[in-house]
Amino acid sequence: MSKLSGIGMTSQRTRTRFVERLRGQGIKDEVVLEAMGSIPRHIFVDEALASRAYDDCSLPIGFNQTISNPHTVARMTELLRGGKMLGKVLEIGTGCGYQTAVLSRVAQEVYSVERIAPLLTKARGHLREIRAANVRVKHADGSMGLADLGPFDGIIMTAAATHVPEALLSQLAEGGRMVFPIGTGEQRLCLVEHTAQEYRQTTLEAVKFVPLLPGLA
């Protein structure tokens, strides 16, 4: 039996319950809900934790990193979309590849950067397993983005910054959105919208992420 068809984990009942819980938590974007329901989250965590994969909690994935709780993944994806189809998206912090996989269902092209090489190797395997053909991952310092591939319609960062990263702002297309956690003690979600006149910044609900670190590992 393949990991994709873990007992009970990919049943329609499990997925329906998973999506209904997200809807009950305030996620309204049906495109995002469909994407969340289509990704087998249990393959992105260690086998010992697979039974908890659909619980609303973050889980360790090694190297002092975590897979975010499903509601946070859905919320950030919903904010990134803003009700519109996404063309080219940049993700900072591939991690285990779960958020990347969700993005692959709501964007035409996804570029993802991870600084921890062994994590990236595992993520590549997970993304191959779900046949995410529109994703490209790279071992690089995420704080610098991927200037040669920009501009991007959406930028999402899954590690907490202390300030709005200027390098990433310059890679955000006009009409694009950037979503990321900001703060050191208390962290909050931050939404930056690039309009014709300005970068409009909105601070939203409290979240908890690992800090954004420079360099490679």
Alpha carbon distances (Å) from 29 to 85, 158, 190: 12, 20, 19
- Residue 201 · residue 190 · CB < 8 Å: yes
Taking residue 192's Cβ as centre, other Cβ atoms within 10 Å add up to 20
Residues 150 and 88: their CA atoms lie apart, in Å, by 8
Query: Dmax of the chain from CA atoms?
Result: 54
Query: Which one of the listed residues 68, 104, 112, 143 is annotated catalytic?
Result: 68
Is 170 part of the annotated catalytic residue set?
A: no
End-to-end CA distance of the chain: 34
Count, residues in the chain: 217
Q: Catalytic residue numbers?
A: 68
